[in-house]
């Protein structure tokens, strides 16, 4: 798939920028956001720890088929409480819940270097992209934000909203 990994860049001793694209100089604005000049201490409680994502499901079989077979995550194990997947070095735990109502917002997303190719590939696997009627959302479901960033939303087998984004 066309998903790209986030990388950690050391800017200066004790300072890091997390990005999937070339980073700006400290203090420079990118897409309206200023790059922080605040150092990231080596002993930051969670600032340098890997994130673990959690996704609810009512059906392990359907979810495994979706996340492994369609999205392309590597299945690691089923510990009885959750299925564990590797998403390019990030752990995604798909947790069995007896009943839940899917959130009305994105709960999990990926960055893509080529959103059109990723959307096309997922479409070919049966994924249907959500249409929200936003100005700038094209026929394939890709919305272009005023900043130029692009996002497409889709749902997993439990109705959880997922997204793909490509940032300028």
pLDDT over 90 percentage in the chain: 70
Question: Which pLDDT score is estimated for 38?
Answer: 67
pTM score, whole prediction? 0.74
Pick the closest to residue 154 from 136, 142, 139, 167 (CA basis). 142
Question: Which pLDDT score is estimated for 117?
Answer: 97
CA–centroid distance for 92 within its chain = 11
**Is the distance from CB of 14 to CB of 28 less than 8 angstroms?**
no
Residue 20 has pLDDT above 80, yes or no: no
**Is the distance from CB of 114 to CB of 166 less than 8 angstroms?**
yes
pLDDT, one tens digit per residue, over 47-60 is: 899 999 999 999 99
What's the number of CA atoms in the CB half-sphere (13 Å) around residue 160? 20
Domains of the chain plus CATH, in order, are 49-100 (3.10.180.10)
pLDDT, one tens digit per residue, over 96-149 is: 999 999 999 999 999 999 999 999 999 999 999 999 999 999 999 999 999 999
Read off the DSSP letter of residue 65: I
Residue 81 has pLDDT above 80, yes or no: yes
Residue 33 has pLDDT above 70, yes or no: no
Return the residue matching tokens 């499901």.
57
Q: What is the rounded distance in angstroms from the CA atom of residue 168 to the CA atom of residue 95?
A: 33
């Amino acid at each position: 798939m066309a998903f790209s990994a986030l990388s950690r860049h050391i800017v200066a001793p004790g300072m890091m920028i997390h990005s999937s694209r070339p980073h700006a100089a400290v203090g420079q604005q990118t897409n309206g956001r200023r790059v922080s000049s605040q150092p990231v201490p080596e002993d930051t409680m969670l600032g340098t720890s890997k994130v673990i994502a959690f996704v609810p499901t009512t059906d392990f079989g359907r979810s495994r088929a979706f996340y492994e077979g369609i999205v392309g995550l590597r299945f690691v194990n089923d510990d009885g409480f959750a299925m564990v997947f590797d998403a390019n070095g990030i752990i995604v735990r798909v947790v069995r819940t007896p009943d839940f109502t899917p959130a009305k917002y994105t709960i999990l997303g990926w960055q893509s270097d080529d959103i059109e190719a990723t959307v096309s590939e997922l479409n070919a696997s049966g994924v249907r992209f959500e249409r929200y009627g936003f100005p700038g959302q094209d026929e394939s479901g890709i919305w272009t934000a005023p900043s130029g960033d692009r996002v497409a939303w889709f749902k997993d087998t439990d109705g959880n909203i997922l997204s793909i984004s490509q940032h300028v």
